Chains A and B, each alone.
Chain A
Amino acid sequence: MSRFILRRLFSLVPTLFLVLTVVFVMLRLAPGSPFDQERSVPPEQLAAMEERYHLHDPILKQYGNWLLMIGRDHTLGPSMKYPGRSVEEIIGLTLPESMKLGFWGLIVALAMGIPLGIVGAVRQNTWKDSVAMAAAMLGISVPRFVLAPLLVLVLSLKLYWLPVARWESWRHMVLPVFCTALPMAAYIARLTRAGMLEVIRSDFIRTARAKGLSERVVIVRHALRGALLPVVSFLGPGFAGMLVGSLVIERIFDIPGMGRYLVEGVQNRDYNLVAGVVLVYAVLLSVANAAVDVAYRFLDPRVELDT
């Protein structure tokens, strides 16, 4: 098992390397310079600024310098848009906020989705099932950027129950986390239900029932593990997708997270920052996938671990 984990983590490295290379090249080739401004900068000054960051060197040389910078100086470089701030500082300040949002979103999504899915499966084809699945469908079909302003309108502006925006106390977290969690919860509900339905019909469940165990024990203790398999395999990309999708929530609620740099960094041609954010994203995704694989194995010993 630990060999597997190590092997998975080890295989991250070439993947990360390739990812960063691709992004690096594409960024540098895209038209536009980090230093274009509205008040026209005299061309000499522009050239001088670009010179300082070695932007006129041949691409290979820039690439080499950049790798050296990471490997030797242990820094991701300065941000070109925010002077005086290094990329790792920016990431260090904003990643935790995104992670908070993501983490709680995940918890809430699981807490809402799994029970809903179980109800749907166990009470299949009753009204409870229909209601549960209808709610899930709705959660999937309504985009976050519609849900969020709607909730803000009702809960904050009309009823004054919750803050409108910003990121200060736990009360500020309620709406953003909920909006982040809802679509995920919907998917999780559907997956849980589907998985549960499959498991419920299997032999060993029948055996458990025959043994006289109560329905609740049967469901929770025995069926759930198998039912959660599809949920688990969804969590990896789901979590990553949430980190990206948090961009919308961050923008609407003014949360100082990392998501916005995915877009702004590229638009500003802030090469170092984009590289840093992509790196973090890639690491998170890969680790999440690896964790999912490991969790999968725990839940279902019949699964062969992929090499």
Chain B
Amino acid sequence: MSEEVEATETPPSSPAKASPPEADATKGASLWTDAWRRLRKNRVAVVSGVFIIFLTLFCIIWPEVSPFRYDDANIALGATSPSWTHPFGTDDLGRDLLARLAFGGRISLAVGIVATFISFAIGVTWGGVAGYFGGRIDAALMRIVDVLYTIPLLVLVILVKAFFANDKTIFYRWFVWSIGLFTDHAKDPKYLPLFQIVFVFAALGGVSWLTMARIVRGQVLSLKSQQFIEAARSIGVGDAGIIFRHLLPNALGPIIVYTTLTIPSVMLTEAFLSFLGLGTEEPLSSWGLLVANGTESLDLYPWLTFFPGLMLALTLLCFNFLGDGLRDALDPRVRKD
């Protein structure tokens, strides 16, 4: 759960006021092309989407071509304000802020996307099954969601870290083994911070799927009594088929919107955790960590807060605009006069 707020913005149609989907499964293609057309017309959303893509590419490419590495310390230099060599200045260890921002962007975006993906995968399956089968299965599954919901995020994260991110535990060994499939240097201790981050992803993703599950369940519940489902069942489509080919695609609209809005929420949570020292750790950087470190010397070296904060805020804004745009595109009742 985000430190800031749980992004439980209601999807376009709340369960109570469900309206029939625009088209049934066979006409799904035109729903999506319709939505896409509408989205393209929404300039703000388009600009946001383009910006996000550009930013992602930048974060992937820049650290490779930059003259400075993100962890290149130059202690004698210390903190300097923006200049030609260092367009965003340097931090108190003399590291180039632009390089750290770009590298940090990789981590922040990765955290956002991976955690959201995890939450999407788990949440959709969980909520879909619960909503469709109803009855005791629903009750049991939702009970588990309730229990996990009630455990404070922070407690979970610290415990996960103490447990898994310790190089003596079995999870770590699994991880080394799986990394070892890709590289020779799996045992290199410099990977340890990366492992710790991955577990933070897992923890974050492992928490935000809860609300996703609830939303999906709500959608499925409201859709499941619709006529087209009856029709599909009468043809003889099995349970799995109904869930995955008929229900979910129609519920997908709000799900997509919520997913897009989860990304900024997760990124903010990561920033929050980094501020507390529980998230990304040195020498890695993430926007959250950069901002958190920057606020320690806000009036002395304002650029250390300003640029990461700006980057974070812009990204969050773009994801929010994109989410809004998607919502508008998928639910045409909300028309702009």
Chain A positions within 8 Å of B, measured between CB atoms, are: 14-16, 18-19, 22-23, 26-27, 29-32, 124-125, 137-138, 140-146, 149-150, 153, 157, 183-184, 187, 190-191, 194-195, 197-198, 201, 229-230, 233-234, 237-238, 240-242, 244-245, 247-248, 262-263, 266-267, 274, 277-278, 281-282, 285-286, 300, 302-304
Is the CB of B227 closer than 8 A to any CB of chain A?
A: no
Q: Would A149 and B150 be within 8 Å (CB), given that A32-B162, A198-B334, A241-B2 are in contact?
A: no
Distance in angstroms between the alpha carbons of A140 and B163 in the assembled complex: 32
- Cβ-defined partner of B17 (8 Å) among A144, A190, A302: A302
Give the size of the chain B interface in residues (CB under 8 angstroms): 55
Q: Pick the contact of A286 from B150, B154, B309 — CB < 8 Å?
A: B150
- Which chain B residue has the least Cβ–Cβ distance from A231? B10
Q: A145, B163: Cβ atoms under 8 Å?
A: no
B75 at the interface (CB under 8 A from A): no
Contact of A144 among B3, B143, B321 (CB under 8 A): B3
A61 to chain B, nearest CB (A): 22
Q: How far is the CA of A183 from the CA of B320 in the complex (A)?
A: 14
Given B7, B272, B317, B336, which contacts A245 in the complex, CB threshold below 8 Å? B272
| A101 to B326 alpha-carbon distance, docked (Å) | 35
Q: Known contacts A15-B147, A230-B9, A248-B272: does B317 contact A237 (CB below 8 Å)?
A: no
| 6 sampled A-B residue pairs with Cβ under 8 A | A30-B162, A153-B299, A187-B5, A198-B334, A234-B5, A263-B154
A150 lies within 8 A of B298 (CB): yes
Q: How many A-B residue pairs have CB under 8 A?
A: 166
Least CB separation from B159: chain A residue: A26
**Of the residues B143, B152, B337, contact of A281 by C-beta under 8 Å:** B152
Q: Could you tell me if A238 and B6 are in contact, using CB atoms closer than 8 angstroms?
A: yes
* B271 part of interface (Cβ distance < 8 Å): yes
With a CB–CB cut-off of 8 A, which chain A residues contact B333? 198, 201
Q: Which residues of A contact B158 (CB under 8 A)?
A: 263, 266-267
Q: Which residues of B contact A31 (CB under 8 A)?
A: 162, 166
Residue in chain A with minimal CB distance to B275: A145
If the complex has contacts A141-B312, A230-B14, A266-B159, are A241 and B151 also in contact, measured as CB distance less than 8 A?
Answer: no
A22 CB contacts on chain B under 8 angstroms:
147, 151
A137–B305 CA distance with the chains assembled, in angstroms: 19
Q: How far is the CB of A282 from chain B (nearest CB, A)?
A: 4
Residues of B near A238 (CB, < 8 A) are 5-6, 8
Is the beta-carbon distance between B9 and A187 smaller than 8 angstroms?
A: yes
Q: Give Cα A244–Cα B158 distance, bound, in whole angstroms.
A: 14
Evaluate contact between B275 and A244: CB separation under 8 angstroms.
no
Q: Is the CB of B10 within 8 A of A282?
A: no
